[in-house]
Amino acid sequence: MKIVIAIDSLKGSLSSMEAGNAIKEGVLKADPDAQVLVKPLADGGEGTTEALSEGLGGELVQVEVHGPMDTPVTAAYGWIRESKTAVLEMAAAAGITLVGKEKQPLHATTYGVGEMIRDAVKLGCRDFVIGIGGSATNDCGIGMLTALGYEFLDASENSVGIDADALKDVARIRTDHVMPELEECSFRVACDVTNPLCGPNGATFIYGPQKGVTEEMKEKLDQDLGHFAEVTKRCLGADCADMEGAGAAGGLGYAFMAYLKADLRPGIDLVLEAVDMNEAMKGADLVFTGEGRLDHQTAMGKAPVGIAALAKKHGAAVIAFAGSVADGAEACNEKGIDAYFPILRQVVTLDEAMEPQRARQNMAKTAEQVMRLVEAVRR
């Protein structure tokens, strides 16, 4: 029997690969002859760097960069040496969790994201997998692009700056000092939103308020993003403002498409491709997946449902495990998960349940018993 395991992390408890290997341990206790393949799983958001780095045999690289408010932060990205791939999350350098209570959307910058990319390029990376969720910025990527060598000048040929407040002053773009290695790089960006750059459904109006954009700021800031896009179109010939995803991460999606020719795709699709999940599923009889909490939101396109959809294309049965199962999880059955099980084996506190050693044991023992049931039915 061929079994594929691809489970999302149990945040604060087990990484994707730790949870997967615990399932594998339980499966092999019930069926020592099973062919078991463990793959990392994430949805392109928080935890993607760790999951893909660990699952693909990479390592974490730490680098000091400018945070969203220009103060230094230590950010980590994944380096898969063999394939020259870098995996990073923009939130590590420009995430909303890195700013204080007093959010300043006009001054938050993505410069540190560019520094992360620059560091990875110098290390030899040429293929980038990037998650852009959780941003604190609305700078249309001008900070990131400046760190990569693009120069944004005003009418007097002076540099305009690296934040949203600088967008209105951009009159010309100089590319003389752009990293030449970028021509050799490909960028795959995890993006689960379809918003354009500007307008009532754009970056500023829809996502700006959570970053501190007030009602009084919206119209002017939206116009500034539009101005930046017009100058980009005039100087570089790139016309991406109305493309789906351009409004992601305060316009960072736009910057990736217009300047770095990035491919924006739903996070789960990008991750499944990065780990070659389709190939792994070929000939699979049974697939184990899951996440920390299984509920109705899981059925709305989260990672376990993405795994279930792919598994069904290959004719495999799908079983999910979770730290907890909430009302509404029944919707997962309609999305390809044939059955799901909580792994808790006794009444404990939340802290006790999330203790890594306990969670690992609970996962392995639950998987063993489920696998014994599968074997009994097969006989």
- What are the tens digits of pLDDT across the range 315-366? 999 999 999 999 999 999 999 999 999 999 888 888 898 999 999 999 999 9
Q: Can you tell me the mean pLDDT for 116-138? A: 96
Per-residue pLDDT tens digits for 166-186: 999 999 999 999 999 999 999
Q: What does the domain layout of the chain look like in residue ranges?
A: 2-41+276-378, 48-268
pLDDT score recorded for residue 301: 80
pLDDT score recorded for residue 307: 96
Q: Give the chain's radius of gyration (CA, Å).
A: 22
Q: 2-41+276-378: what CATH class?
A: alpha beta
The model's confidence at residue 94, banded by pLDDT at 50, 70 and 90, is: very high
pLDDT score recorded for residue 289: 98
pLDDT score recorded for residue 346: 87
In this prediction the pTM is 0.89
Strands (E), the chain: 2-5, 35-38, 59-66, 72-80, 85-89, 127-131, 151-153, 172-174, 186-190, 263-265, 286-294, 317-325, 339-342
DSSP assignment of 165-222? GGGGG--EEE-TTS-GGGGG-EEEEE------SSSTTSIIIIIGGGGT--HHHHHHHH
Main-chain phi, psi angles of 372, to 5 degrees: -65, -35
Query: Distance between CA atoms of 329 and 340, rounded to whole angstroms?
Result: 9
- Using DSSP, state whether 19 is helix, strand or coil: helix
pLDDT score recorded for residue 178: 98
Structure tokens given for 333: 């059955």
Q: Can you tell me the mean pLDDT for 108-123? A: 98
Mean pLDDT of the chain, nearest integer: 95
pLDDT score recorded for residue 240: 97
Q: Are 77 and 93 in contact (CB under 8 A)?
A: no
pLDDT score recorded for residue 98: 95
Same fold, 2-41+276-378 and 48-268: no
379 has pLDDT over 80: no
Structure tokens given for 351: 């802290």
- Using DSSP, state whether 40 is helix, strand or coil: coil
Query: Distance between CA atoms of 119 and 274, rounded to whole angstroms?
Result: 21
E strand or H helix at 308: helix 303-313
Kindly report which listed range (70-84, 116-130, 290-304) carries the lowest average pLDDT score. 290-304
Buried b or exposed e, range 263-280, using 16+ CB within 10 angstroms: ebbbbbbbbbebbebeeb
Look up residue 38 and give its amino acid.
Answer: V
Q: Can you tell me the mean pLDDT for 32-50? A: 93
Angle between helices 252-260 and 215-236 (to 10 degrees): 0
CATH for 48-268, options being 3.90.1510.10, 3.40.50.300, 1.10.357.10, 3.20.20.140: 3.90.1510.10
Q: Can you tell me the mean pLDDT for 211-224? A: 97
pLDDT score recorded for residue 102: 80
pLDDT score recorded for residue 44: 87
Please report, to the nearest 10 degrees, the dihedral formed by the alpha carbons of residues 173, 174, 179, 182 taken in order.
Answer: 50
pLDDT score recorded for residue 11: 87
**CB atoms < 10 A from the CB of 369, how many?**
14
Give the N- to C-terminal CA distance of the chain in Å, as an integer: 13
Structure tokens given for 12: 């604060």
Look up residue 329 and give its amino acid.
Answer: A
- Using DSSP, state whether 85 is helix, strand or coil: strand
Residue 371 contacts by C-beta under 8 Å, 6 or more apart in sequence? 26, 27, 29, 30, 31, 34
Q: Are 286 and 1 in contact (CB under 8 A)?
A: yes
What is each CA distance from 46 to 61, 124, 200, in whole angstroms? 17, 24, 27
Residue 147 contacts by C-beta under 8 Å, 6 or more apart in sequence? 111, 112, 113, 114, 115, 117, 118, 162
